[in-house]
Amino acid sequence: MSRHLIDPERASADEGPFLVAASLSESAERVTAAHRHKRGQLFGALRGLLSVDTEEGQWVVPAIHAVWIPPNHLHGLRSHGAFSGWSVYVAESECADLPAAPRAIRTSRLLQEAVARACTWSATSADGPLDAAQEHIARVVLDEVRSLPEESLGLPMPRDPRALRIARALAAEPADRRRLDEWAASAGLATRTLSRHFIAETGFAFAEWRDRARTLRALEMLAAGESVKAVALEVGYETASAFIAMFKRTYGSTPTVFLDSQRGSA
């Protein structure tokens, strides 16, 4: 497992600055096992992609996005390739009017600059309160978390245990081409019942949910340098053109253009 960005005790402490920020660049992939802490956390990458797992769902997050994790929520992450990123930890007492559920947001230039400044404070305000100028910048970070729109990069998971087992199986193996009725039979559910669980509990019809699972896996593979054709076949499409069409419906551009835009923004 990778080393912590800050001491785990600080990640759960109400004492000290209400906002603590840190950045880190490593030559190796970063893997953080599932954990929770009392402070809320906002984190993102400076380059590449992060895979994030929570109890509510999964994300693959490009460098121009960030993920907000409320206090005491279980979460883990993995970078794709060498890690360069940042984290902001917010005292639980300051999180009451911040989002109550994990979400992905598109970072603004203002948020990026405020976080970069906050990452320079650790040497001067590790234990004491923030000074007036620092508190102003810290409040800007919190205001951006409140106001920036949620991005649809996540893969929400159903709550019904049988539907959840199917969702986890598909997330692990998105190329599985079994139809909805076949999955329902394997779980001892009526087809219509399984369909209702996906729509009511994830907001997506079964086929849409599976396409989203495939795009998230595809982003991971594309970031690792796999070709579009190889990725299309690996995640369950018969042709590259079918995969590109689905990707464009989801993200508004082809896989190549989308990844180039992330690298340029990073």
Which of 179, 113, 126, 152 minimizes the C-alpha distance to 6? 126
Phi, psi for 205 (deg, rounded to 5): -65, 160
The one-letter code for the residue type at 38 is K
Residue 127's pLDDT is what? 66
The one-letter code for the residue type at 100 is A
Per-residue pLDDT tens for 52-100? 888 878 777 777 789 999 999 999 998 877 888 999 999 999 999 999 9
Mean pLDDT of all residues in 14-33: 89
Token code pair at residue 264: 């340029």
**Residue the block writes with tokens 């994300």:** 59
What is the percentage of the chain residues whose pLDDT exceeds 90? 48
Mean of pLDDT over the chain = 87
Token code pair at residue 222: 């594309």
Query: What domains does the chain contain, in order, with CATH numbers?
Result: 8-151 (2.60.120.280), 157-265 (1.10.10.60)
pLDDT-derived band of residue 206, with 50, 70 and 90 as boundaries?
very high
Mean pLDDT of all residues in 227-244: 92
**How many CA atoms, within 13 angstroms, populate the side-chain half-sphere of residue 181?**
0
| Three-state secondary structure readout of 181-245 | HHHHHHHCCCHHHHHHHHHHHHCCCHHHHHHHHHHHHHHHHHHCCCCHHHHHHHCCCCCHHHHHH
Phi, psi for 173 (deg, rounded to 5): -140, 75
Do 138 and 87 contact (CB within 8 A), yes or no?
Answer: no
Do 34 and 75 contact (CB within 8 A), yes or no?
Answer: yes
User: Of the ranges 34-43, 99-108, 125-134, 238-247, which one carries the lowest mean pLDDT score?
Assistant: 125-134
pLDDT at 126 over 70: no
User: Of the ranges 85-89, 98-102, 105-109, 219-223, which one carries the lowest mean pLDDT score?
Assistant: 219-223
Residue 160's pLDDT is what? 93
Per-residue pLDDT tens for 5-17? 777 777 888 888 9
The whole-angstrom distance between residue 220's C-alpha and the CA centroid of its chain comes to: 12
pLDDT at 266 over 50: no
- d(CA 120, CA 99) in angstroms, rounded, equals 26
pLDDT at 124 over 50: no
Residue 131's pLDDT is what? 93
pLDDT-derived band of residue 123, with 50, 70 and 90 as boundaries?
very low
pTM score of the predicted model: 0.73
Mean pLDDT of all residues in 30-38: 91
Helices 206-223 and 240-251: angle between axes, nearest 10 degrees: 100
pLDDT-derived band of residue 1, with 50, 70 and 90 as boundaries?
low
